[in-house]
Homo-oligomer: A and B are copies of this chain.
Amino acid sequence: MLVKKYKDMLSGKSVIRQLSEFATARGQEIGYENVFDYSLGNPSVPVPPEFTNEMIRLLTQAESNELHGYSPSLGITSVREAVAASLKERYGLPYGREHIFMAVGAAGALAHAFRLVAEPGDEILTFAPFFPEYRPYVDLTGAVLKVVPPDTEHFQINFEKFEEMLTQKVMAVLINTPNNPSGVVYSAQTLRILSDILKKKSAEYGHTVYLISDEPYREIVFSGVEAPCVSSFYDDTIMCYSFSKSLSVPGERIGYVAVNPRCADAEDMVNMCGQISRGIGHNCPPSVIQLAVARVLNKTADLSVYEKNMELLYKTLKELGFTCVKPGGTFYIFPKALEEDSVEFCRKALKYDLVLVPGDTFGAPGYFRMAYCMETDKVERSLEPLKKFVRETYGDKK
C-alpha cells in the first residue's frame, strides 16, 4: 500500500506546469523563440565567471577529501563564518557562524524553518499573492498554511485581514520580499507595522510568533527602490536565503537559514536544524558548491536585464490600460487581467503565443503573472503580440 496523500497528489497538475508544457509543445511547432513563455521563473542570465573560476580552482587545487568529504551537519564551518561575516557587514546585525545553517536552496531552508516552529495542526500565515509551492511545503509538514487576502492596491500587506487571522494557533508568519509573483518590495513602514503586530500578539498569546522571511530575490532590486533588511525589524526572524537567483545557479541547490542573532534561541535553533535534517534526508548542500559560493558572496550574475525587461513591460502594460503595481525587484510583474476570470484571460492569450499565468494560483484571482527572465530581445518581440491580443480581444471594451 503506497501512502495515499502522495499518490493522490499525482492527479493534480500545477497550472504553471501545464502552461509550460503547452509552451514546449508549441515551441516544437513554431520554434521556441516564437513562443513568448512568461510562465517559468527560471533565471536566464549566465552564472558570474567568478563562481565558475572558483569551482575550477577548487577542483584542480583542493585536496580530494577536503573538497568532497562529508560536510558537518550544519554546513562547512568556514562557509558559515563567511556567510555570517557578509551578513554582519551588510546589515550591521551581530551574525556569527552559530546563526547560520547551510541548506539546499530556499526550499531546503524553508523545510527546516517550518519544522523549527510549527507542529502538526499549528498554523502558518502567509500573504497573497504568494508562491504556490508554499502550500505543499507547509501542508506536508502537517501544519496548516492560511493565506491572508491581498492588499490589491499596493501588494503590501492587508493588515486588517491579517489581524483577524492572527489567532493563538499561528506559530509563524511567512513573507517573501521582494515578492513572487507581484515583484513588490515590502516598505520599511510595512515591516514596522508587521513587527509591531507580531510583538503585540506574541506577548498576548504567551508564545513567540516567528517571522520566516523567504528572500531568494533579495539581490534583484531595481534602481531607486529601498529593500529594507527584514531581520532588523523583528528579533524573532528566521531568514531563508538561496543563491539560485543572485548567482543564476538554481540547479545547484545552495542557500542557508540565518537566524536573527537577537532571537533568544538563535543558537539552539541552528542546532535544531541539524536534527531536523536527519528526518528529512537533508545532510547539507554539496561541499564543493558550499566552498565556491563562500568565495563569491558579494558577487551576482549581471541582473540588469531584469530591470530593463520590467521597464519595457510596465510601460507597455500601462499604455494598454492595465492596472499594475510597478515591481521594485524580482523578475515578475503581476497586472490585473482585463476580465474578471483571469484563467479565461490567460487562455485567450495563448492564441497569441503569450504564456501568462492566472493569479488564482497565487491566491489573487483576477490578476496574472509574467516572469520576464528572458532576453530583452524576446520581450521586445512579444510587445506586438501583446498589443494585438489586447486590441483584438478587449479593444471594444476600453
User: Does A30 count as interface, using CB distance less than 8 angstroms?
Assistant: no
A278–B140 contact, CB under 8 A? Answer: yes
A33 CB to nearest chain B CB (Å): 15
The one of B109, B136, B248, B251 that contacts A279, using a Cβ cutoff of 8 Å: B136
Q: Find chain B residues with CB under 8 A from A272 CB.
A: 2-3, 6-7, 9-10
The one of B56, B116, B208, B253 that contacts A59, using a Cβ cutoff of 8 Å: B56
A302 CB to nearest chain B CB (Å): 11
A2–B47 contact, CB under 8 A? Answer: no
Per the bound structure, the CA–CA distance linking A110 and B112 in Å amounts to 18
Closest to A373 in B: B65
B-contact bits for A167-200, CB 8 A (1 contact / 0 none): 0000100000000000000000000000000000
User: Does A358 count as interface, using CB distance less than 8 angstroms?
Assistant: no
A276–B111 contact, CB under 8 A? Answer: no
A69–B42 contact, CB under 8 A? Answer: yes
A214 CB to nearest chain B CB (Å): 12
The one of B140, B250, B285 that contacts A68, using a Cβ cutoff of 8 Å: B250
A286–B289 contact, CB under 8 A? Answer: yes
User: Does A137 count as interface, using CB distance less than 8 angstroms?
Assistant: yes
Q: A7-B272, A10-B268, A60-B56 in contact; A65/B280 too (CB < 8 A)?
A: no
Q: Is the interface of A mostly helix, strand, loop or mixed?
A: helix
Q: A272-B6, A275-B6 in contact; A251/B287 too (CB < 8 A)?
A: yes
Closest to A251 in B: B287
A65–B281 contact, CB under 8 A? Answer: no
A209 CB to nearest chain B CB (Å): 10
Interface size for A (C-beta < 8 A) is 73
Q: Find chain B residues with CB under 8 A from A112 CB.
A: 281
The one of B111, B271, B286 that contacts A280, using a Cβ cutoff of 8 Å: B111
A71–B287 contact, CB under 8 A? Answer: no
Per the bound structure, the CA–CA distance linking A168 and B110 in Å amounts to 36
- Which residues of A132-185 are within 8 A (CB) of B? 133, 136-137, 139-141, 171
B65–A42 contact, CB under 8 A? Answer: yes
User: Does A117 count as interface, using CB distance less than 8 angstroms?
Assistant: yes
Q: A10-B268, A253-B286, A286-B289 in contact; A59/B52 too (CB < 8 A)?
A: yes
Q: Find chain B residues with CB under 8 A from A268 CB.
A: 2, 7, 10
- Which residues of A262-277 are within 8 A (CB) of B? 265, 268-269, 271-272, 275-276
A130 CB to nearest chain B CB (Å): 15
Per the bound structure, the CA–CA distance linking A137 and B71 in Å amounts to 18
Q: Find chain B residues with CB under 8 A from A107 CB.
A: 278, 281-283
Q: Find chain B residues with CB under 8 A from A285 CB.
A: 253, 286
22 contacts between A and B (CB under 8 A): A1-B207, A2-B269, A3-B118, A6-B275, A10-B271, A42-B65, A46-B65, A69-B251, A103-B281, A105-B283, A107-B281, A107-B283, A133-B278, A137-B278, A137-B279, A137-B281, A140-B276, A140-B279, A251-B284, A251-B286, A280-B280, A288-B289
The 10 closest A-B pairs by CB, nearest first: A140-B279, A111-B281, A251-B287, A46-B64, A280-B280, A136-B278, A108-B281, A9-B275, A6-B272, A68-B249
Tell me the A residues contacting B by CB distance below 8 Å: 1-3, 6-7, 9-10, 42-44, 46-47, 52, 55-56, 59-60, 64-65, 67-71, 103-105, 107-112, 115-119, 133, 136-137, 139-141, 171, 207-208, 248-254, 265, 268-269, 271-272, 275-276, 278-289
